[in-house]
Amino acid sequence: MKSVRARYGASPLHLLLVLCSFALTAYAGMQLLKGDTLRIVIWFVGAALVHDLVLLPLYTITDRATQALLRSRPASGKHHRARKPWINYLRVPAFVALLLLITFYPLILGKVPGYHLATALPSDVFLGRWLLITATLFSISALCMITTMWRHRTPTTQPPPRTEESGKSSGPRHQ
C-alpha cells in the first residue's frame, strides 16, 4: 500500500476510481461515435475551439471589467490591486446560472415547439425553475461567504479599563 501511495501520490482507491472513470468515458465515447461520427467529431472540435477562442476571452474580459468596476481606490495613489475574496462568491453562482441558461435556453425561453407532446411536461415552467435555481445558487453562495467571514473575523481588542480617579489605565505599569 505504501509503495502504491508513494509512486502514484494517492490511495489505491483513488487510482481505481480514476481508471473506472476513464473506462466509462471510453465506453460512452465509443457508443457515441457509432452514429454519425463525422458530425460528432466536428461538434466536439467546434465546441472546443469556440470555448477556447471565443468564450474564454469573453470570461476573462468580463472578469477584468467586473474587478475594475468593484475595485476600491487606494488612498495613497499607489497602484495596487486590493484583494476582494468575496468576488468568487459572485463568480461561481453567476457562472453556473449562465451555463444552465446557455444549455437550456430553448426550454427556458419557450422556443421548443412540441416539447409537451414528447415528454408530457409543460413547457412554461422552465423559466421559473431556472430563476429558482439561480436564486438558490446565490443564496448558498452568500451563506458560504457569511460563514467564511464569520470564521475568519479578527477579534477586536478592548482598551484596558480606566480608573475614575486618575483617568489612567489600571493595567500593568512599566517603571
Percent share of the chain, pLDDT over 90: 19
Is 1 a residue whose pLDDT tops 70?
no
pLDDT number for residue 137: 96
Residue 165 lies inside a defined structural domain of this protein? no
Is the pLDDT higher at 32 or at 151? Answer: 151
- Indicate the helix (H) or strand (E) that contains 170: none
Residue 166 lies inside a defined structural domain of this protein? no
- Beta-bridge mates of residue 169: 162
Q: Would you place residue 73 in the very low, low, confident or very high pLDDT band (cuts 50, 70, 90)? A: low
* Domain shared by 117 and 148, yes or no: yes
Residue 162 lies inside a defined structural domain of this protein? no
**Cα–Cα distance measured from residue 31 to residue 1, given in angstroms and rounded to the nearest whole number:** 35
Residue ranges making up the domain that contains 7: 1-34
Is the pLDDT higher at 81 or at 150? Answer: 150
Residues 6+ apart with CB under 8 A from 63: 91
Residue 91 lies inside a defined structural domain of this protein? yes
Cβ distance 137 to 93 under 8 Å? yes
Using one digit for the tens of pLDDT, what is the confidence trace for 114-154?
A: 777 766 777 788 899 999 999 999 999 999 999 988 888 76
- Beta-bridge mates of residue 106: none
Q: Backbone phi, then psi, for 24, in 5-degree steps?
A: -65, -40
* Domain shared by 44 and 3, yes or no: no
Is 68 a residue whose pLDDT tops 60?
yes
* Domain shared by 115 and 144, yes or no: yes
pLDDT number for residue 41: 78
